[in-house]
Structure 1
Amino acid sequence: MNTEDVTKRCLSLAGAGEEYPFGPQPAVYKVGGKIFALLGEDAEPPRVSLKLPPDEVQALQAQYEGTVLPGYHLNKRHWVTVLLNGVLDDGELKALIEESYDVVVATLPKRLRPR
C-alpha cells in the first residue's frame, strides 16, 4: 500500500476523519475524537502508526523486525509504526488499519460509536 491507499482505507471506515493538529505532517485519522492512525507521508519510507492490543504489538515487531517498529513518539506498549516498504502485503496492512480502528471504537462511549 502507498500513502494514498492508506488514506483511502482510513477514511472509508465509519465515522473516520482526517486532521492535521501537528502542522502539515502527520495526517491524523480519528474516530469519535480518538486517534487510530497517524500517517507520515514525508518520511522515507512513508510510515503509518497504529494502535493495537499489547500482545499483538510484540508479536508483529518480532515477526516483521525492521518493518514494524515501536510507535514513534507514542506509547510503545500500544502503538506500532509500520514502514510502507512493501514487506507487509496490502491485505495485512488493511487488516491492521481496521484492527486499530476497532480497538479505538471499542473504547468509545456507546453514544460516540459510529452506527
Structure 2
Amino acid sequence: MVPEQIMDAALWFPESAEDEPFGPNLLVYRVADRIFALMQPEDGRAMPAHLTLKCEPALALELRGQFGAVIPGYHVNKKHWNSVLLDGTVPDDEIVEMLRHSYERVVSGLRKADRERLLAVLGTDLPPVPDPP
C-alpha cells in the first residue's frame, strides 16, 4: 500500500480524523481524540515510510514473527504498538486488518456509549483497499 491509500483507509473508519500535532510529515489518525494510527511517509531521515498501529500484545509479537516489515512500535510503547514498514512486503489486506484492529483496540477503551455507537456503525466490513492515486 502506498501512503495515500493508507490515509484513505484510516479516514474510512467512523468518526476518524487526521491531524499533525507533532509537526509536518507525521500524520496522526484519531477517534474520539485517541490515536489509533501514526503515518510517516518517506522523509529520508529516521526510517522509511511506516505506519504505527496499536495492537494486542500477543498479536503484536505474532505479527512481528510473521512479517519482517512489522517491527516494535517506533517511538511508542513497544508492547502495545507495532510499526509496519511500507516496503511492499506486507499484503495490503493485512495492513487494512491491522488498521482495523488498532481502531477497534482504541474504541474498546472508550466510554460505553461511544464504544457501542462506533462499533455499531463499523459493523463487520473492512474498508476497501483504495486504488493508488
Q: Give, in whole Å, the separation in 2 of the partners of 1:21 and 1:112.
A: 23
- 1:20 is aligned to 20
Gaps of 5+ in 2: 122-133
User: C-alpha distance in 1, partners of 2:42/2:95?
Assistant: 19
The 5 A counterparts of 1:72-111 are 72-111=74-113
| 2:65 maps to 1:62 | yes
1:45 offset after TM fit, Å?
2.9
Residue 6 of structure 1 deviates from its aligned partner by 0.3
User: If you compute each CA radius of gyration, which structure gives the higher value, 1 or 2?
Assistant: 2
Separation of aligned partners in 2, 1:17 and 1:24: 16
Runs of 4+ aligned structure 1 residues displaced above 6 Å come to none
Report the counterpart of residue 50 of structure 1 in structure 2. Answer: 53
Aligned residue identity for 1:13: F
| Aligned residue pairs, count | 114
Q: Quick one: which amino acid aligns to residue 24 of structure 1? A: P
Gaps of at least 5 residues in structure 1 are none
> What is the CA deviation profile of residues 19-72 of structure 1, one whole-angstrom value per residue up to 9, with x for unaligned ones?
10001021000001100000001345310000010001111111112x001100
Query: What SS is found at the alignment partner of 1:56?
Result: helix
Residue 10 of structure 1 pairs with residue 18 of structure 2: no
Cα separation, 2, equivalents of 1:33 and 1:73 = 19
Q: Root-mean-square deviation (CA), in Å?
A: 1.2
Cα distance in 1 for residues equivalent to 2:74 and 2:23:
17
In structure 1, how many angstroms separate the alpha carbons of the residues matched to 2:87 and 2:60? 19
Question: What letter matches 2:54 in structure 1?
Answer: K
Identity of aligned residues (%): 38
